[in-house]
Amino acid sequence: MAEMHVIAAEPLRAAMRLVVQGCGSSDAEAAAVADNLVEANLTGHDSHGIGMLPRYVNAVREGGLKVNAHVRTVLDAGALLRLDGNAGFGQVVGAEAMALGIERARQLGCTIVALGHAHHLGRIGAWAEQAVAAGLISLHFVNVIARPIVAPFGGAKAGFGTNPFTAGVPLKGRPPMILDFATSVIAQGKTRVAHNKGVPVPEGCLIDEQGRATTDPRWTVVPPWGALLTFGQHKGSGLAVLCELLGGALAAGLAGHGEDGSKQRVLNGMLTVLVDPRALHGSEAWEAAAEDFVASLLRIAPREGHEQVLLAGDPERRTRAERLASGLPVDPTTWRQILDAAASVGVAPSLVQRTAGLA
């Protein structure tokens, strides 16, 4: 495996801002995109971090991703909000959609926010964290409008995207639960990262173009295309289909997948359910019950091969602390792709390199 670059978070953010500004984004938009991508790397989800930037740049150049776009309210019916992301950066329209939903849930106790036509919303956990920071519980059902890459249970061919499901629950006396995963066994970006690093993916994640099991990540990175499998057999496949029905058909009015794999644009549809737990329960009793339950869970002794029982969200917080202290590893292929993307929008690769603190 090629040697990794190790870059500290702040210079990496500054370098990524330069590339986004090169696309024509305002300073605020460039900061939102760079912060969100670097945050994904900090939490250990390199698949949704700065490695996405070359694809975003290509999508802007193709006209499929609109810079400086904002959400538009299509329907405002009390606890129901339907928003159009205008094909803007998901890092901007996602945050705007959440802010509108949070404000409404604080007034009414709950809200359902349907966001359609948003460009890639990145790590969906970021949106759960925004809700949890406001004291709210949030559930997110997300679909992916791009070439289908995940096969339904029992199918030999892809039928939908990696359709993430995410939930955030604020907890008293400890950090929140942030459950955030793709419904494919592994996220697609993880196959790109493996392909860039030249390493296989674990068994049970992929099928080739004939529907045969394989560990070669090429099958979802370069044509001819194979497919990812869903996690949890028929159960994960069912959740993926639910994400398509709720995040896609209901929230975005888009559940079909074109076969054209040549375009770089990725749209997400997201149905978010926000609940104010205090409005629902009216007392602090639920907080105490949740706190007791989580404490009892974390006291359970680990079984062989495991260090300890963790709550979802804890692994990301650990990785974040480690990477803030020791820097973010970036593989050379990903870094080269970022420098090429910078050059394609008139930003000197040497400036990006210097800003990131690399000689």
Ligand X SMILES: NC(=O)c1ccc[n+]([C@@H]2O[C@H](COP(=O)([O-])OP(=O)(O)OC[C@H]3O[C@@H](n4cnc5c(N)ncnc54)[C@H](O)[C@@H]3O)[C@@H](O)[C@H]2O)c1
Establish if 310 lies at the interface with ligand X (CB under 6 A): yes
Establish if 39 lies at the interface with ligand X (CB under 6 A): no
Among 268, 272, 337, 355, binds ligand X (CB under 6 A): 268
CB of 167 to ligand X, least distance (A): 9
Nearer to ligand X, 7 or 311 (CB): 311
Nearer to ligand X, 67 or 144 (CB): 144
Establish if 187 lies at the interface with ligand X (CB under 6 A): yes
Nearer to ligand X, 16 or 205 (CB): 205
Which residue in 263, 67, 243, 46 sits closest to 139, CA to CA? 243
Nearer to ligand X, 269 or 356 (CB): 269
Establish if 95 lies at the interface with ligand X (CB under 6 A): no
Nearer to ligand X, 142 or 341 (CB): 142
Nearer to ligand X, 166 or 355 (CB): 166
Q: Residues 286, 288, 290, 293: is their CA dihedral positive or negative?
A: negative
Establish if 227 lies at the interface with ligand X (CB under 6 A): no
Among 52, 121, 151, 228, binds ligand X (CB under 6 A): 121
Among 120, 147, 192, 265, binds ligand X (CB under 6 A): 120
Among 33, 37, 124, 150, binds ligand X (CB under 6 A): 124
Task: Give the whole-angstrom CA distance, residue 11 versus residue 358.
Answer: 10
Nearer to ligand X, 29 or 180 (CB): 180
Establish if 144 lies at the interface with ligand X (CB under 6 A): yes
What number of chain residues touch ligand X (CB under 6 A)? 27
Site stretch for ligand X (CB under 6 A), options 25-33, 123-131, 199-207, 251-259: 123-131
Nearer to ligand X, 46 or 84 (CB): 46
CB of 108 to ligand X, least distance (A): 27
Establish if 122 lies at the interface with ligand X (CB under 6 A): yes
Establish if 46 lies at the interface with ligand X (CB under 6 A): no
Establish if 56 lies at the interface with ligand X (CB under 6 A): no
3-state DSSP of the chain: CCCCEEECHHHHHHHHHHHHHHCCCCHHHHHHHHHHHHHHHHCCCHHHCHHHHHHHHHHHHHCCCECCCCCEEEEEECCEEEEECCCECHHHHHHHHHHHHHHHHHHHCEEEEEEEEEECCCCCHHHHHHHHHCCCEEEEEEEEECCCCECCCCCCCCCECCCCEEEEECCCCCCCEEEEECCECCCHHHHHHHHHHCCCCCCCCEECCCCCEECCHHHHCCCCCCEECECCHHHHHHHHHHHHHHHHHHCCCCCCCCCCCCCCCCEEEEEEEEECHHHHHCCCHHHHHHHHHHHHHHCCCCCCCCCCCCCCCHHHHHHHHHHHHHCEEECHHHHHHHHHHHHHCCCCHHHHHHHCCCC
Establish if 168 lies at the interface with ligand X (CB under 6 A): no
Strand pairing partners for 112?
A: 80, 273
What are the residues binding ligand X (CB under 6 A)?
A: 45, 47-48, 120-125, 144, 162, 164, 166, 178-182, 186-187, 190, 268, 310, 312-313, 315-316
